[in-house]
Amino acid sequence: MLVDIRHEATHNELPSLALLRLAAGHALDWLRASYWQRQADHVAAEHARIRQLLQVLYYAYICLGTAAAGAVPCLHMLDRAWCSR
């Protein structure tokens, strides 16, 4: 659609304002679906991953603090899956 409108504007007459608005709406829909939503999904996934990492670091900090105070380390609180990452 956008290519056709550009072609018409270049070689014939300028398109109507209504057609330009329609094309702009299609372009925004494409950007939303192809770029902005994918970026939002990626940011949300990274946010969740960072939150999990911070929780693991917090538990490690707590465990180290209790170990330094003479208590038994609470390593069972840490997720072993993170050790391989």
What's the N-to-C CA distance of the chain in angstroms?
46
**pLDDT tens, position by position, 58-69:** 888 887 776 665
Is 0.75 surpassed by the pTM of this model?
no
pLDDT level of residue 82 (50, 70, 90 thresholds)? very low
Query: Rounded to an integer, what distance in angstroms lies between the CA atom of residue 84 and that of residue 45?
Result: 20
Query: Rounded to an integer, what distance in angstroms lies between the CA atom of residue 17 and that of residue 8?
Result: 14
Q: Domain of 42?
A: 2-84
* DSSP state for residue 10 in the 8-state scheme: H
Query: Domain tally for the chain?
Result: 1
